[in-house]
Amino acid sequence: MTTLSGHVQLAETSVSAFFLAKSHEIGHAIPMTKTIPDYSFEQAAHGRGFCRVAGVDEVGRGPLAGPVTAAAVILDPDHIPDGLNDSKKLTAKKREALFAEILNLADVSIAHATVEEIDELNILYASHLAMERAVAGLSTPADHLLIDGNMAPKGLTIPNETLVKGDSRSVSIAAASIVAKVTRDRIMVDLAQQFPGYGWETNAGYPSKIHKEGLSKLGITPHHRRSFKPIHNILYQQKNVMG
């Protein structure tokens, strides 16, 4: 894991950097649109005096099964892996290669919220809980966060800013998205070996055709999210049949 010290010198001032520097309030959403992630948001934060800027992202809100997984990543500005981008835009092979490189070069923390927590809290708050846990798990605390999306977890006390489509705009968030996705995909592959027939090794718990067929033929597993409508409906039907 890499510990950063000192400040990164800002590059030449540009109009976009000027507006980034102005967007420093806790929880402030930055509406700019970029297609290739870069280090400009991190540079702007360094220019405001922050030293350890972490990108934060989660994966797994939409699946019918499995945990939601979050990652927090602090990149070393002198050793940023090439090719970082939104994990959904990368091949599985590229994600795996970048995953190993990120773990080697950056300070990385990974955390989860369980199926039980998802059902108890709802998926939004469970994903926020996973993010909070990931931030808390960094080897040295971050002093500023770049969070994917438009809503920061309420439990965070560290100064932060939210970036809509941040995994396509900030390399730190892109790195976090890759780490979270690779980690969760591996979990679902392991669960698929324990519960074959749902296609989790390829659909990662999302409601694909094979997953729906598995639910129809095999029923619900302990790893299914009972608060999600398709699963809830199956349970309701079973209750009526038995009742």
What average pLDDT does this structure show over 39-65? 98
pLDDT over 70, % of the chain? 84
Between the CA atoms of 77, 80, 85 and 87, what dihedral angle is there, to the nearest 10 degrees? -110
DSSP state of 87: G
Distance in angstroms (rounded) separating the CA atoms of residues 55 and 138 = 11
Statement: residue 3 has pLDDT above 50 = no
Between the CA atoms of 9, 51, 32 and 159, what dihedral angle is there, to the nearest 10 degrees? -150
Tell me the DSSP string of 129-175.
HHHHHHHHTSSS--SEEEEESS---TT--S-EEEETTGGGTBHHHHH
Distance in angstroms (rounded) separating the CA atoms of residues 87 and 173 = 10
DSSP state of 114: -
Bridge partners for 108 per DSSP: 73
Distance in angstroms (rounded) separating the CA atoms of residues 219 and 193 = 16
CA–centroid distance for 137 within its chain: 14
pLDDT per residue as tens digits for the range 175-203: 999 999 999 999 999 999 999 999 999 99
pLDDT per residue as tens digits for the range 155-175: 999 999 999 999 999 999 999
Statement: residue 13 has pLDDT above 70 = no
Distance in angstroms (rounded) separating the CA atoms of residues 171 and 176 = 9
Distance in angstroms (rounded) separating the CA atoms of residues 128 and 131 = 5
87 and 180 Cβ atoms separated by less than 8 Å: yes
What average pLDDT does this structure show over 104-116? 99
| Structure tokens given for 226 | 């009972």
Find the angle CA(15)-CA(30)-CA(13) to the nearest 5 degrees.
20
Q: Which residues of 144-168 are buried (b: 16+ CB within 10 A; e: fewer)?
A: bbbbbbeebbeebebbbbbbebbbb
Statement: residue 129 has pLDDT above 70 = yes
Q: Which helix (H) or strand (E) holds 36?
A: none
pLDDT per residue as tens digits for the range 134-161: 999 999 999 999 999 999 999 999 999 9
172 and 74 Cβ atoms separated by less than 8 Å: yes
Q: Which domains does the chain have, with CATH numbers?
A: 15-194 (3.30.420.10), 200-242 (no CATH)
